[in-house]
Amino acid sequence: MYFFLTGIALLCAILGLFWLMDRLESPLLVRLAYSGLVARLAVVGAVFAMLGLLLMLSEFAERWAM
């Protein structure tokens, strides 16, 4: 559950960065939003969300099988 929530929070923060970049039209935010670090964080957030979802599904299947 914590992996899933961490991944979703990270992806929401990145979406918020892009929204803020468009809203404020700041060159600094544009450079930050399109940086390699943010792209890597987006991948990590997606992996955390998928891993958390898979762990929750496996726990549900384990409880259901009993």
How is the chain classified by DSSP, letter by letter?
A: -HHHHHHHHHHHHHHHHHHHHHHH--HHHHHHHTSHHHHHHHHHHHHHHHHHHHHHHHHHHHHHH-
pLDDT of residue 36: 95
Q: What is the pLDDT of residues 9-30, one digit of tens each?
A: 999 999 999 999 999 999 999 9
Q: Which amino acid is at 19?
A: W
CA distance 34 to 46: 17
pTM of the model: 0.86
